[in-house]
Amino acid sequence: MSEKLQKVLARAGKGSRREMEAVISAGRVSVNGKTAYLGDRVEGNEQIRVDGHAVVLKPAEEQVCRILMYNKPEGEMCTRKDPEGRPTVFDRLPPLESGRWIAVGRLDINTSGMLLFTTDGELANRLMHPSHKIEREYAVRVFGEVDDAMLQRLRNGVKLEDGPAKFQKITYRGGEGRNHWFHVVLSEGRNREVRRLWESQDVQVSRLIRVRYGDLELQRQLPVGGWTELGLKDVNYYRKAVKLPVETESKVKVNEKMIDNAKNRRIRRSVKKHQQRHKQSVRRNRK
């Protein structure tokens, strides 16, 4: 059976389906030596190239889906390369023998917390798509006067420049003076949506941390800037949530365990080394 070209490229780890649609539209993909167009379908035995580089295609059943949980720090860009030389979320990720890590959505530079990466572009696309209603939960610190009427407006929905939006749930978590912490839940990932919802009520967001994606929470032992690979149970939770076939294999040798102390120390050392290398690079660029 034929499949859409962007779907095949996404499954091959070249990017999310949305990213591949843009690449095809830009004329960067060829099939059997001819420029491909958006809407083209392939059988899977063609010679496909992206920017002149051959794409290794494997049947879906031969690929092992991998997912990383990353604890993003503030100050990192959700892009592969930044023209200004700022650190990116891809800088610390483990190398792959084939394919590449694909970010499941984005967090803006001033937002920290849970960010998922996968080798399966189709999974990334479905987890991001609002039709699957995958919840995202954020811890948010706001500055300003907040009353019950405001919270009710945010639950009922307010009009933003790109359409109506609302929080599915708002839970008060304490605070002092004009600084208050809330946990809020959304099931879509529009650009800066949490910040824009609060700002629509003339309240300023001073901290924003993603703490949950779907049913999985950010692991407490995972240090800022650290990552861990999810075991088979958690990988299949996400696959089932978006109606993809379950996996039977995993690259994680010991599944379903929280990060132990030894691994935690290794992650912290790796994070510290990365930070030192980045500082050295910044100093060299300034000279």
Q: Write down the residue that tokens 């994680």 correspond to.
A: 252
Same CATH fold assignment for domains 3-62 and 67-130+216-286: no
Strands (E), the chain: 3-4, 29-31, 34-35, 41-42, 48-50, 53-54, 67-72, 102-103, 112-118, 136-143, 158-160, 163-165, 169-176, 179-186, 204-213, 216-217, 227-229
What share of the chain has pLDDT > 90, as a percent? 64
Kindly report the pTM of this predicted structure.
0.76
From the candidates 51, 91, 108, 147, give the one annotated as an active-site residue.
108
Sign of dihedral through CA atoms 226, 228, 234, 236? positive
Domain ranges of the chain: 3-62, 67-130+216-286, 135-213
CATH architecture of 3-62: Roll (3.10)
pLDDT > 70? residue 255:
no
Looking at 30-44, 78-92, 259-273, which range is the least confident one?
259-273
Q: Residues 31-36: what's their mean pLDDT?
A: 95
Quick: pLDDT tens for 242-253.
999 999 888 786
Q: How many CB atoms lie within 10 A of CB 240?
A: 11
Q: Are 94 and 135 in contact (CB under 8 A)?
A: no
| The listed CATH number (3.40.50.300, 3.30.2350.10, 3.30.70.100, 3.60.21.10) that belongs to domain 67-130+216-286 | 3.30.2350.10
Distance, first Cα to last Cα, the chain: 58
User: Would strands 48-50 and 204-213 be described as parallel, antiparallel, or unpaired?
Assistant: unpaired
pLDDT value at position 82? 87
Give the pLDDT score at 178: 84
Mind listing the pLDDT tens digit for each residue in 77-118?
A: 998 888 888 999 999 899 887 778 999 999 999 999 999 999
Instruction: Catalogue the long-range contacts made by 150-159 (C-beta closer than 8 Å, 24 or more residues apart).
Output: 150/201, 150/203, 153/201, 154/184, 154/197, 154/198, 154/201, 158/197, 158/200, 158/201
pLDDT at 257 over 70: no
pLDDT-based confidence at residue 256 (cuts at 50, 70, 90): very low
Phi, psi angle pair for 63, to nearest 5°: -95, 140
Tell me how crowded residue 23 is: count the other CB atoms within 10 A of its CB: 19
Give the fold, CATH level 3, of 135-213: Pseudouridine synthase (3.30.2350)
The question of whether 108 is a catalytic residue gets the answer yes
pLDDT tens readout for residues 166-212:
999 999 999 887 899 999 999 987 889 999 999 999 999 999 999 99
